[in-house]
Amino acid sequence: MKLIIDTDPGIDDAMAIAYAVAAPEIDLIGLTTVFGNTHVHQSSRNARFLLNKLGLDIPVAEGAAYPLGSDTHAPSEHVHGPEGFGDLTEILEIGSNHDLPAAEFLVEMARIHKGELVVCAVGPLTNIANAMRLDPEFTGNLGQLVIMGGAVFCSGNITEHAEANIYHDALAADEVFSAPPDTVLVGLDVTLKTLYETADFEDLARRSPDMGAFLRDISRFYLNFYREVGGLEGCGLHDSTAVIACSHGSMFNMVETGLRVETEGDRLGATQPDPARSVVRVCRNVDGAGVVRLFTERVASLP
């Protein structure tokens, strides 16, 4: 499967990228970056750093620095650390970004790999909405869009009503859901059922002394956030779960519904069913232990 991850690395984004590189059925052909967990230039630098560490030479196309609407949001430093990788603050600038901006790169790749390309969006949906605005054929050219975002049947994580990726650009998310491609939504409804605990990171680091240990080290900060704010002894494998859904749909229980997103007021970023809109497959349940196992097996195969 040809895959592009649209991402804001970010600790769980780093885990998802490592998983995609390790998964034999995935041909990762590029990363597009977006603001969110970090400023976009930090997302791009972190993406290039990771790819270099993973030994993969593929394009990183930088995307949106701000949401479509007027609201801007500070990076989630309290969740992902000041540079996006927890306590790690010295991150080398390696290589440079692709010539095309993210939305143009997505449009171009979808055209070249018509019907085959899967885009897994694990940050705010600004680049996806921009690609849809740029090319009316983008939606039809895509094989599938898999989104990490939303909290359709459960509470949010950034507010009571909203999940962070959707909240950070509610307008873009609503635009995507107003005329969605073939789309699977992997929201908090399932990603909080895939908790990765300290012992899982230790096991991963033992089996993969370079990449696994790197992920364990940057995740300490993230695990502390989960412990202090959520009282949880593990972090959600949010973005990895979405990448896993790209190829292992049978591990998920999905319901079909149209969706709309609140774009203002107290419920900003809430994702709610709207029968008048084209259907999206919303993941409602997951084999959480299976996702955790699969993640570890694959990432442990990396050096």
* Min CB(240)–Ca ion separation in Å: 10
Q: Select the span of 11-19, 80-88, 95-103, 248-256 touching Ca ion (CB under 5 A).
A: 11-19
Residues 143 and 107 sit within 8 Å (Cβ to Cβ):
no
**Complex with ligand BDR: residue 44 or 165, whichever CB lies closer:** 165
With binding defined as CB under 5 A, does residue 13 bind Ca ion? yes
Q: Select the span of 12-20, 65-73, 246-254, 258-266 touching Ca ion (CB under 5 A).
A: 12-20
- CA 206 from chain centre, in angstroms, equals 26
The sign one gets for the Cα dihedral 155, 161, 164, 169 is positive
Residue 163 contact, options ligand BDR, Ca ion, none, Cβ 5-8 Å cut-off depending on partner type: ligand BDR
**Complex with ligand BDR: residue 85 or 105, whichever CB lies closer:** 85
Run of H or E residues at 81: none
Binding residues for ligand BDR (CB under 6 A) = 10, 12-13, 37, 76, 79, 122, 148, 157, 163-165, 238-239
DSSP 107-176: HHHHHHTTTT-EEEE-S-THHHHHHHHH-TTHHHH-SEEEEE---SSS--SSSSS--HHHHHTHHHHHHH
Q: Which residue in the block uniquely carries the two structure tokens 């998964």?
A: 23
C-beta nearest to ligand BDR: residue: 164
- Active-site residue among 6, 8, 169, 200? 8
Burial per residue of 95-109, b for 16 or more beta-carbon CB atoms within 10 angstroms, e otherwise? bebbebbbbbbbbbb
SS3 17: helix
Distance from C-alpha of 270 to C-alpha of 9, rounded to nearest angstrom: 23
Backbone φ, ψ for residue 145 (5° rounding) = -115, 125
Residue 76 contact, options Ca ion, ligand BDR, none, Cβ 5-8 Å cut-off depending on partner type: ligand BDR
* Min CB(36)–ligand BDR separation in Å: 6
- Whether 189 is catalytic is no
Distance from C-alpha of 146 to C-alpha of 125, rounded to nearest angstrom: 11
**Complex with ligand BDR: residue 153 or 278, whichever CB lies closer:** 153
With binding defined as CB under 5 A, does residue 246 bind Ca ion? no
Q: Select the span of 49-57, 71-79, 198-206, 234-242 touching Ca ion (CB under 5 A).
A: 234-242
Question: What's 278's DSSP letter?
Answer: P
With binding defined as CB under 5 A, does residue 169 bind Ca ion? no
# chain residues binding Ca ion, by CB under 5 A:
6
Question: 112-141 mask for Ca ion (x: CB under 5 A)?
Answer: ----------xx------------------
Distance from C-alpha of 225 to C-alpha of 79, rounded to nearest angstrom: 6
**Complex with ligand BDR: residue 135 or 282, whichever CB lies closer:** 282
With binding defined as CB under 5 A, does residue 67 bind Ca ion? no
Run of H or E residues at 208: none
- Whether 238 is catalytic is yes
Active site residues per annotation: 8, 238
Residue ranges that bind Ca ion, judged by CB under 5 A: 8, 10, 13, 122-123, 239
